Amino acid sequence: MIDDLEQRIRERAHRMWLDEGRPEGKAEAHWELARMAIAFEDAKPQMQKPIANDTPEPIEALLNQGEFPTLTDQGEQHAPGGMADPG
């Protein structure tokens, strides 16, 4: 299987080299790009699986969400007219 993977990477890197017009000194770059492309292709079925969430959040989480302070609840002082005091 490793030989098959290496062969796929080699063929992809070779195609990249040909597509770029056979440049000199880019073998390592083509190899690395081909290796990453093959890895993404192989992982694609796993990445496309939906996330299984068997247990929904309890309703209490929704009902109690207003009980916790947020960034707007930091005790800011408002100037007359409803604008926050910049100083």
pLDDT digits (tens, 9 = 90+) for 30-85: 999 999 999 999 998 888 888 777 777 778 777 777 666 667 656 655 555 555 55
Task: Give dist(CA 9, CA 34) in Å, integer.
Answer: 5
* Nearest residue to 30 (alpha-carbon basis) of 53, 11, 51: 11
* Nearest residue to 33 (alpha-carbon basis) of 24, 20, 47: 20
pTM: 0.52
